[in-house]
Amino acid sequence: MPRTVRDVVFVDGVRTPFGKAGPKGIYNGTRADDLVVKAIRELLRRNPDLDPKKIDEVAIAATTQIGDQGLTLGRTAGILAGLPQSVPGYSIDRMCAGALTAVTAVAGGVAFGAYDVALAGGVEHMGRHPMGEGVDPNPRFVSEKLVDESALFMGMTAENLHDRYPTITKLRADEYAVRSQEKAAKAYADGKIQQDLVPISVRNTNEAAGETGWGLVTTDEPMRPGTTLENLANLKTPFRTHGRVTAGNAAGLNDGATAAIIASEDFARENNLPVKMRLVSYSFAGVEPEVMGYGPIPATEKALAQAGLSIEDIGLFEINEAFAVQVLAFLEHYGIADDDARVNQYGGAIAFGHPLASSGVRLMTQLARQFEEQPHVRYGLTTMCVGFGMGATVIWENPNFNAEGDSK
């Protein structure tokens, strides 16, 4: 019997504040799986009409699936969060697009009818598990020239992207980074970010600095408000001598977790759950691994074609800022100005941080807030580049859209 594809909606999303990775970071003494558990519990607290017994799946992403990020994290985090043992779960790895892929994977199940409601998210504790820990890349990649050796180092791929777009100078990248910091600081000042943050109790273990005891994390640690072009001008370019990529115009090494509720629209409305965004289309695309940051461009082209839309139909963009050059390449390709008001209105990963597999849901929660505030916007997209040469894009429709207004 043929099935009818169902409308899929983003019900709600939360995240922990993001921290700096390393022994001095806020989450140095906190387990990765506990960060996911906190996010799941907060989702349930915020949505008391969702009966946990009705949750059909828990999909949690992590790039480095070992230690406290291993052991089928979707299943174990669900149990630790107090979900009934009848609720299954699994883990996902698509590097930076892990949480985004968790959302699209369960969304496919919802559309098909296998699920009514599912949880999806991601975590990365780069302080405990640096990117690439424990991996053993096949020597054929380099010996047979399947990829350029620079593909194994994300910063070098960003330098390669600068080469491909010579008009994207270090100055443009630094100017973009300053705007990201300014927009993030304004979003905090206006109370736009705190609404979706989960306060996290942490134990400070930096005994050498005399800092011990318990504390409550309520804000993102990586932000550098007040950053100026002068601050960024003389930063080292660690990936290439006289290069263009610095710690100031790229996301750092970070810790954090995200989680979201994805459901059929009928289920959400029948169970008195909010409908914050409606899924329109999604797509993934591969590119040369050595220019990984180019990936959002073909992924977006595919997603737009699936939806029957053009880039002019998109009224809001949430683009992950792994590197400033990666965002600027996307904007340049589509003829969008570097400072276009539709792009990353609250700032991005250069300010907030980018804990790899968790970041996709951060993009979604920020877009959902913007949809709520801007009913004249009908469509928005979330997009990101992905390690080893991929891109990922999801297009969303604003359920608050006012048909009498301008849809752009």
Beta strand pairing call for 90-92 and 277-286: unpaired
DSSP string, 197-255: B--EEEEEEEGGGTEEEEEEE-S-SS--TT--HHHHHT---TTSTT-S--SSSB---EE
Tell the CATH topology of 8-129+147-396.
Answer: Peroxisomal Thiolase; Chain A, domain 1 (3.40.47)
pLDDT of residue 407: 42
Residue 87 is which amino acid?
Answer: V
What is the C-alpha separation between 367 and 381, in angstroms, rounded?
8
Domain ranges of the chain: 8-129+147-396
Neighbouring residues of 170: CB distance < 8 A, sequence distance ≥ 6: 162, 243, 244, 246, 249
Provide the residue-wise pLDDT of the chain in tens; the chain has 408 residues.
667 899 999 999 999 999 999 999 999 999 999 999 999 999 999 999 999 999 999 999 999 999 999 999 999 999 999 999 999 999 999 999 999 999 999 999 999 999 999 999 999 999 999 988 998 989 999 899 999 988 889 999 999 999 999 999 999 999 999 999 999 999 999 999 999 999 999 987 555 555 667 899 999 999 999 999 999 999 999 999 999 999 999 999 999 999 999 999 999 999 999 999 999 999 999 999 999 999 999 999 999 999 999 999 999 999 999 999 999 999 999 999 999 999 999 999 999 999 999 999 999 999 999 999 999 999 999 999 999 999 999 999 999 998 665 544
Instruction: Single out the catalytic residue among 96, 125, 129, 162.
Output: 96
Instruction: Single out the catalytic residue among 129, 333, 354, 376.
Output: 354
Measured over the CA atoms of residue 42, residue 48, residue 50 and residue 56, the dihedral's sign is positive
What pTM does this model have? 0.95
* 25 CA to centre of own chain: 20
Instruction: Single out the catalytic residue among 125, 129, 162, 385.
Output: 385
pLDDT of residue 142: 85
Residue 8 CB-half CA count within 13 A: 28
Q: Clarify whether 385 is annotated catalytic.
A: yes
- Which CA distances in Å does 93 have to 98, 121, 147, 208, 331? 5, 11, 20, 36, 27
Structure tokens at 235: 């930063």
Helices (H) and strands (E) counted in the chain, each on its own, are 12, 12
Contact 98, 361 (CB under 8 A): no
